Amino acid sequence: MASLAARRATDFTVKAISTGFAVLSLVMLAWILWTLLSRGLPALGPHVFTQITAPPGAGGGLLNAIVGSLIQIVIALLIGTPIGLMCGTFLAENGRGTRIAGVVRFVNDVLLSAPSILIGLFVYQLLVVPFGGFSGWAGSIALAILVIPVVVRTTEDMLNLVPIGLREAAFALGAPQWKVVTMVTWRAARAGITTGILLALARAAGETAPLLFTSLGNNGWSIDLSRPMASLPIAIYQYAASPFDDWVALAWAGALIITVGVLTLNILSRLVLAKMK
Amino acid sequence: MDATLGGSSADTALVTSHKPTGKISDPIFVGLLWASGIAVLLILGLIIAMLFEGGLPALREFGISFLWSTSWNPVTEKFGAGVMVFGTLLSAIIAVIVALPLSFGIAFFLTEIAPGPLRRPIGVAIQLLAAVPSIIYGMWGFFVVVPLIAAYVQPPLIEWLGPIPVLGALFQGPPLGAGMLTAGLILALMILPFITAMFVEVLESVPPMLKESAFGVGATTFEVYRNVSVPYGNTAMVGAVMLGLGRALGETMAVTFVIGNATRMSASLFAPGATIASTIANEFPEASMGSLKLQSLLQLGFILFVISFIVLALSRMLVRSKIKG
């Protein structure tokens, strides 16, 4: 065995390196945020929110992309949240300990981690090919498939935290299961379930790949869900890779908007969770 | 009565049979719960079926050699997955090799070194790296990291390591910045928070008594970490790494920006390459509905799904085995 001094020296070195690694990862986060701020802020102005996209050199903003994103995200949440909430409830209440719940949980984990571009390809095959074109609906459904597993996972976790005693008390009063679940269990886990929905919202807002083959993007004003629809991530993708300076600047402005939104949602949901525990 | 205490569905029939209020609404509600559970199964089943069916014509056309054939030529309509499978695996493996030591260090820092009040904020900040959308990593990588690597990292490496026999083949070619290595580095940063978070979770599940005993016989903090905590959680930690690998395999937008998008094979880490996901994202706009190219892209998607599924299933098996036990 090495001498005490040598062991202490190793200990110190490893601690220093570990601390260095932690600092390095924080520096990386700060670097990304700094890049976004320094390039996005100068490009950010009222025109970004009030004008639709325009040909290079003609000014223009991101209004259609922002509106398109909001529409598709809201629909994705409207479709995905109830299914996710019910499925999470199924896992926590009805399926507990059964074989089918194990399978559903596993499949949900697969959906949660499946490459999002494959969800896009899937919805392309499912909706775009049969209906003959890209559409806002297809984009919304692709995002809904991303929303579901996030909501399922958090709902199940949060319902598992609700004490059995609460349910017992409600059942003892003679309440049917739907009342126990909707008025007691869900209510007790309200904050946690909301967190799950916020996280799902954050995930859907930042995803680009699933929209490439579903809602495609649109350079005009687009609120017709049966036609191709603009979205912020797709606009960023198209503009960032373009050779025009003003388009690249707009892409940075969009990137800043998305990142601030997504990080705020994440911090908010973590604050709610921290309060619960 | 005892049965209702569990609060599970089979037992509620006992309650509802006494309560007219739930006679109709309860079966509907429970039916909805079951339907949602089945819906999730259906979605995954449909995804697998649709990707497989969509790519089947390509598999018929090129045979099983599609899997390793390295030609990807839209002009002659000869397609193969070899280059992309290679690129997907290589970039993900680089990512894991880079992220693994960092995650070990950061998890050590978060569980043993960081002072109490700092732990949570630093942990959350590192987790925020996982929340940054993929396309932002792509832009940052493309506009900031790629030029830096092209100017400061690749030229010296090509000069120093390039001439070495065998090993030098990894460091050949012009310093473009974009390429396999850059993609691997960006991916490493993206999967780092996932691996770290799971490491921390595993390390926190180590019974304090085990660690205290080791401290009691005079072990240093690092020795306890290396000889007690890590061995205690090793299977779950391997699972965590697999999960990170799974994420890296399917990452699309970030990779598309920084990998250089060349559908040819090269031994050099600096050469531009392609992954399955980046190829799908890039080439899809030029593939018309029903074309052989589109079918090949769908077949690529199916291959990616199979690879990710295997990695995920393995990861889950390993993680569960420890955290549950």
Cβ within 8 Å of A, B 164-203: 189, 192-193
Residues 6+ apart with CB under 8 A from A277: none
Q: Report the mean per-residue pLDDT for chain B.
A: 88
CA distance B230 to chain A (A): 15
Nearest CA in chain A to B19: A174
Q: How many angstroms separate the CA atoms of B114 and B123, rounded?
A: 10
CA distance B165 to chain A (A): 32
Instruction: Suggest the residue from B18, B19, B40, B132 to mutate for an interface test with chain A (most A CBs closer than 10 A).
Output: B40
**What pLDDT does A277 receive?**
63
**What pLDDT does B38 receive?**
94
pLDDT band at A156 (very low <50, low <70, confident <90, very high): very high
- The candidate with the shortest Cα–Cα distance to B248, out of B130, B153, B126, is B130
pLDDT band at A66 (very low <50, low <70, confident <90, very high): very high
Give A-chain residues touching B35 at CB under 8 angstroms.
86
Q: How many angstroms separate the CA atoms of A151 and A149, rounded?
A: 5
**What pLDDT does A239 receive?**
93
What average pLDDT does this structure show over B103-130? 92
Give the type of residue at B111: T
CA distance A223 to chain B (A): 23
pLDDT, one tens digit per residue, over A24-35 is 999 999 999 999
- The candidate with the shortest Cα–Cα distance to A204, out of A232, A176, A183, A175, is A232
Give A-chain residues touching B125 at CB under 8 angstroms.
26, 29
pLDDT at B324 over 80: no
Q: How many angstroms separate the CA atoms of B257 and B306, rounded?
A: 24
pTM: 0.92
Give the type of residue at B259: I
- The candidate with the shortest Cα–Cα distance to A21, out of B95, B121, B108, B93, is B108
What average pLDDT does this structure show over B280-295? 89
pLDDT at B254 over 60: yes
**What pLDDT does B6 receive?**
42
Cβ of B133 within 8 Å of Cβ of A178? The answer is no
Which tops the pLDDT comparison, A131 or A274? A131
Cβ of A259 within 8 Å of Cβ of B136? The answer is yes
pLDDT band at B8 (very low <50, low <70, confident <90, very high): very low
- The single residue listed with the structure tokens 């960081």 is B114
The ipTM (two decimal places) reads: 0.93
Q: How many angstroms separate the CA atoms of A211 and A254, rounded?
A: 16
pLDDT band at B5 (very low <50, low <70, confident <90, very high): very low
**What pLDDT does A65 receive?**
94
What average pLDDT does this structure show over A252-260? 96
pLDDT at B22 over 70: no
Using CB atoms, pick whichever of B40, B102, B309 lies closest to residue A25: B102
Q: Report the mean per-residue pLDDT for chain A.
A: 92
Q: How many angstroms separate the CA atoms of A148 and A203, rounded?
A: 11
pLDDT, one tens digit per residue, over B156-187 is 998 888 888 888 888 888 888 899 999 999 99
Give B-chain residues touching A172 at CB under 8 angstroms.
4
Give the type of residue at B132: V
SS (H, E, C) chain B: CHHHHCCCHHHHHHHHCCCHHHCCHHHHHHHHHHHHHHHHHHHHHHHHHHHHHHHHHHHHHHHHHHHCCCCEECCCCEECCHHHHHHHHHHHHHHHHHHHHHHHHHHHHHHHHCCHHHHHHHHHHHHHHHHCCHHHHHHHHHHHHHHHHHHHHHHHHHHHHCCCCCHHHHHCCCCCCCCHHHHHHHHHHHHHHHHHHHHHHHHHCCCHHHHHHHHHCCCCHHHHHHHHHHHHCHHHHHHHHHHHHHHHHHCCHHHHHHCECCCCCCCCCCCCECCHHHHHHHHHHHCCCCCHHHHHHHHHHHHHHHHHHHHHHHHHHHHHHHHCC
Nearest CA in chain B to A232: B135
Cβ of A32 within 8 Å of Cβ of B132? The answer is yes
Give B-chain residues touching A108 at CB under 8 angstroms.
40
Give B-chain residues touching A206 at CB under 8 angstroms.
131-136
Q: Are A150 and A204 in contact (CB under 8 A)?
A: no
What average pLDDT does this structure show over B258-282? 90
Cβ of B19 within 8 Å of Cβ of A174? The answer is yes
pLDDT at B18 over 50: no
Residues 6+ apart with CB under 8 A from B82: B67, B68, B69, B70, B265
Give B-chain residues touching A95 at CB under 8 angstroms.
37
Cβ within 8 Å of A, B 259-278: 277
Contact status of B252 with chain A (Cβ, < 8 Å): yes
Cβ of A18 within 8 Å of Cβ of B106? The answer is yes
Q: How many angstroms separate the CA atoms of B55 and B293, rounded?
A: 10
Cβ of A107 within 8 Å of Cβ of B41? The answer is yes
Which tops the pLDDT comparison, A277 or B41? B41
Contact status of B131 with chain A (Cβ, < 8 Å): yes
CA distance B171 to chain A (A): 25
CA distance B191 to chain A (A): 12
Decide the pairing of beta strands B78-79 and B72-73.
antiparallel
What average pLDDT does this structure show over A65-77? 96
pLDDT at A5 over 70: yes
**What pLDDT does B325 receive?**
36
Q: How many angstroms separate the CA atoms of A38 and A123, rounded?
A: 37
**What pLDDT does B21 receive?**
56
End-to-end CA distance of chain A: 44
Q: How many angstroms separate the CA atoms of B10 and B8, rounded?
A: 6
**What pLDDT does B318 receive?**
86
pLDDT band at B3 (very low <50, low <70, confident <90, very high): very low
Using CB atoms, pick whichever of B40, B106, B193 lies closest to residue A108: B40
Contact status of B39 with chain A (Cβ, < 8 Å): yes
CA distance B280 to chain A (A): 8
- The single residue listed with the structure tokens 């579903």 is A214
DSSP for residue A51: S
pLDDT, one tens digit per residue, over B135-148 is 999 999 999 999 99
Nearest CA in chain A to B48: A122
Residues 6+ apart with CB under 8 A from B277: A115, A117, A209, B88, B249, B250, B251, B252, B255, B256, B304
**What pLDDT does B1 receive?**
36
**What pLDDT does A40 receive?**
95
Cβ of B109 within 8 Å of Cβ of A18? The answer is yes
Residues 6+ apart with CB under 8 A from B239: B198, B314, B315, B316, B317, B318, B319, B320, B321, B322
pLDDT at B234 over 60: yes
What average pLDDT does this structure show over A222-243? 92
Share of chain B above pLDDT 70, in %: 92
Contact status of B19 with chain A (Cβ, < 8 Å): yes
pLDDT at A129 over 60: yes
Share of chain B above pLDDT 90, in %: 59
Contact status of B34 with chain A (Cβ, < 8 Å): yes
**What pLDDT does B321 receive?**
64
What average pLDDT does this structure show over B202-206? 90
Q: How many angstroms separate the CA atoms of B20 and A152, rounded?
A: 31
Cβ of A113 within 8 Å of Cβ of B247? The answer is yes
Using CB atoms within 10 A of its CB, is residue A56 exposed (0-12), middle (13-18) or buried (19+)?
middle
Q: Are B111 and B201 in contact (CB under 8 A)?
A: no
Give B-chain residues touching A36 at CB under 8 angstroms.
136, 140
Using CB atoms within 10 A of its CB, is residue B73 exposed (0-12), middle (13-18) or buried (19+)?
exposed
Query: CA of A15: how far to CAs of B2, B235, B256, in Å?
Result: 54, 24, 36
Query: CA of A213: how far to CAs of A119, A121, B282, in Å?
Result: 10, 7, 11
Contact status of B220 with chain A (Cβ, < 8 Å): yes
Nearest CA in chain B to A116: B250
Q: How many angstroms separate the CA atoms of B173 and B13, rounded?
A: 72
**What pLDDT does A274 receive?**
79
Bridge partners of residue A210, in order along the sequence: none
**In this structure, is the dihedral angle defined by the CA atoms of residues B225, B231, B236 and B238, taken in order, positive or negative?**
positive
